[in-house]
Amino acid sequence: MRIPLNRNPHPSPGSHRERVARSQHERTEAVMYVNVAVLKETQPHERRVALVPSIVAKLVKLGAKLHMQAGAADAIKLGDAAFNDVEVIANRHELVADADVVLAVQPPSLDVVEAMKSGAILICFVYADNEKALVQLLLEKKITCFAMERIPRISRAQAMDALSSQSALAGYYAVQLGSTHLARILPKVTTAAGAIGPAKVLVMGLGVAGLEALATAHRLGAVVEGYDVRPETAEQALSLGATFVETGVDARGKGGYARELTPEEKTKVDAVLTQHIQKADLIITTAAIPGRPSPKLISKKQVAGMKAGAVIVDLSAEGGGNCEDTKPGETTEVGQVSILAPLNVPSLLGEDASELYAKNVFNLLALMLKDNIVAIDWTDEVLAKTALTHAGKMVEIKPEPAAKPAASHRHSKPAAKAA
């Protein structure tokens, strides 16, 4: 990773003493840096980029020499000239051939990984279960891959948590998208002819996206309700001006995510939710389990009972959707109800999504880029848990040891992870 540059490759003639002195001076001025390459995204409808101008100087200060594929930020209306101190290279294979670190948003194509040098580092979203061929190639090339979706949900890693930063934008966008498909307004408005509104908004799944949707809908004046199978989210919903739909079912799972409900629990939950679903003008669903199909929260029967003109925005379409009538990537009409199932929603806000993602990546790189070299501390929980492959092997996340019982439980309560 250390790459010295000789500032004077053709020294002028001189005495032996002068040549020795000059050589020593040149060695002290040797430049050390880490080659970092930024790819242009090629997947359909992907507008984001892994580097923005505001992060360039920070990476250079860490010891990075930056290279970027030509037109990498065109989708967010940033030309190559906006990136000072970044070398632009048109050919993506040439770009990554000598890179120590390669940055991307989506998994790069196999030909790009094949062009990377053995032992290099790749940082991007991967979702290994969906990228079997890519993972195999990473192992064969002995590439160290840090998968951004594996960032652990701990307080120290919040600044690197790309899933959360992107989900917050998706939650905001869902409300805006849904409101443009409603034939009514969200707030209460009083006119000389009388008052109209407010609309009723139900948000199902109170992770980062759901909470942002609650906050946005509340700011826009809607009457907002929130539902989640994890009871501890009730306090968060109330703090954002929403009411919480109580069902009496606790489905807290590992890693801050909800577990799947049993058939009996589903029946109990459905009975309560149906009443709220049928009264809602706009429903936003956000429940997702990484690497697995999205849980079904709204049945065909419940959709059939919704009011005419109601809208559902399904943010979990990537995993098949939370509604049984959802068709990923499409907007469908079921009776008098509109169901919107957009894909890759953060990319629709490409400028801000890129800004946040680039900051997430920078904060991760800051853990391993020191003194102009890459130094990975495998005792660092964030790095150890984010790594997917290293030295030709899969990096397994070790299960956390069971918590030891406290000396006294008289005044203690079990800790719960927030979404």
Look up residue 21 and give its two tokens: 């002195």
Q: Which one of 172, 257, 302, 347 is the catalytic residue?
A: 257
End-to-end CA distance of the chain: 38
Residues contacting 336, CB < 8 A, separation 6+: 306, 307, 308, 309, 310
Question: Which residue out of 23, 54, 158, 336 is catalytically annotated?
Answer: 158
From 33, 69, 150, 161, the catalytic residue: 161
Closest CA to 337 of 359, 358, 317, 308: 308
The label of the residue with tokens 């098949």 reads 320
CB 39 within 8 A of CB 102: yes
Question: Cβ–Cβ contacts within 10 Å for residue 381, how many?
Answer: 13
Cis peptide before 198 (omega within 30 of 0): yes
Q: Is 153 a catalytic residue?
A: yes
Q: CB pairs under 8 A, 24+ apart, for 132-136? A: 134/107, 134/108, 134/110, 135/388, 135/389, 135/394
Residue 164 appears among annotated catalytic residues: yes
State yes or no: is 33 an active-site residue.
no
Q: Is 74 a catalytic residue?
A: no
- Which of these is catalytic: 2, 153, 219, 259? 153
Question: Which three-class secondary structure state does DSSP give residue 64?
Answer: strand
Is residue 158 among the annotated active site residues?
Answer: yes
Judged on CB neighbours under 10 Å (0-12, 13-18, 19+), 266 is middle
The one catalytic residue in 164, 302, 338, 347 is 164
Q: Assess contact for 60 and 85: CB atoms under 8 A.
A: yes
Question: Which residues are known to be catalytic?
Answer: 153, 158, 161, 164, 257
